[in-house]
Amino acid sequence: MKPLFTFSFLLLLFTASSYATIHNVAVSSYQFSPSSFSAEVGDTIIWTVSGSIPHTTTSTEVPIGANTWDHPFSGSGDTYSYVITIPGNYNYYCFYHGVSNGMTGSFTATSTQTGVQNVNQLQALQPLNPFTGMVRVYYDRPGTVEIFNVLGAKMAEQKISNTNSVTTINFPTLPQGVYIVALMNEGTLVETRKVVRQ
């Protein structure tokens, strides 16, 4: 039984990590590089500043339901990360240099397909990031949302019975850490997401 569980967890971990991409954006010389790119829901954007000139990454336009951001960098090597939770167009700029020097950036996020029939166009699982224990589920049949820690131990589970709707589930007692959120349907893995609770 233990080898089967270990294999299942490793498959789950591989599936979760294969969905997300990290997009690195350099912040230097009054520009974001790249200044424009495409991404997918679940991807992470990491801005890294170099040099001693003060900069920010500040959202100016995000899709409805997406989190805004405003991060002042403290110095060379400082980073800021943002996990995309909603598809659409995102625009941002440097508060200090965006208007005067044209220091702006943008990315377009698309939603990934789950590969399961009759799932809404959005992906089925949308953990709210930064992850606070809230998970939105877009799924058209009953299922189970399960949360595992990085060692494979099941930390929480909740059944969903609403069909053709959005269900929001709260797991408020999870401590800080990295988790795998899995949507199951009758024992079959539908989709996973890797999240970090801060």
What the block records as the tokens of 95 is 């508060």
pLDDT digits (tens, 9 = 90+) for 6-40: 444 444 444 444 457 899 999 998 999 999 999 99
Q: What is the mean pLDDT of residues 94-102?
A: 88
What the block records as the tokens of 24 is 């690195």
**Do residues 42 and 95 share a domain?**
yes
CA dihedral angle for residue 29, residue 35, residue 40, residue 43, rounded to 10 degrees: 0
**Do residues 91 and 128 share a domain?**
no
**Do residues 79 and 126 share a domain?**
no
- What is the model's pLDDT at position 128? 57
**Do residues 64 and 92 share a domain?**
yes
CB 190 within 8 A of CB 16: no
Domain of 37, in residue numbers: 20-110
**Do residues 97 and 123 share a domain?**
no
98 lies in some domain: yes
Last residue of a domain, one of 110, 127, 150: 110
**Do residues 72 and 154 share a domain?**
no
- What is the model's pLDDT at position 114? 39
pLDDT at 150 over 50: yes
What the block records as the tokens of 92 is 């941002």
10 lies in some domain: no
**Do residues 35 and 51 share a domain?**
yes
- What is the model's pLDDT at position 115? 31
102 lies in some domain: yes
Q: How many structural domains are present in the chain?
A: 2
C-alpha 172/C-alpha 123 separation (Å) is: 23
If pLDDT is split at 50, 70 and 90, which confidence band does 149 have?
A: confident
- What is the model's pLDDT at position 5? 44
CB 41 within 8 A of CB 85: yes
Candidate from 2-6, 49-53, 73-77, 187-191 with smallest mean pLDDT: 2-6
Q: In the beta sheet, which residues pair with residue 22?
A: 44
- Mean confidence (pLDDT) of the chain: 78
CATH number of the domain that residue 138 is part of: 2.60.40.3080
Candidate from 46-55, 56-65, 68-77, 175-184 with smallest mean pLDDT: 175-184
CATH number of the domain that residue 88 is part of: 2.60.40.420
C-alpha 79/C-alpha 25 separation (Å) is: 10
Question: What three-state secondary structure class fits 75?
Answer: coil
Nearest to 190 by CA among 16, 6, 27: 16
- pTM (predicted TM-score): 0.52
**Do residues 141 and 93 share a domain?**
no
7 lies in some domain: no
C-alpha 42/C-alpha 143 separation (Å) is: 21
Q: H or E stretch including 11?
A: helix 2-19
C-alpha 190/C-alpha 38 separation (Å) is: 25
**Do residues 46 and 104 share a domain?**
yes
4 lies in some domain: no
Count CA atoms within 13 Å of residue 160 on its CB side: 27
Mention every residue, 6+ apart, whose C-beta is less than 8 A from residue 91: 59, 60, 61, 62, 104, 105, 106
Candidate from 56-65, 87-96, 176-185 with smallest mean pLDDT: 176-185
Mention every residue, 6+ apart, whose C-beta is less than 8 A from residue 7: none
**Do residues 36 and 92 share a domain?**
yes
Q: What are phi and psi of 41, to 5 degrees?
A: -55, 135
- What is the model's pLDDT at position 28? 92
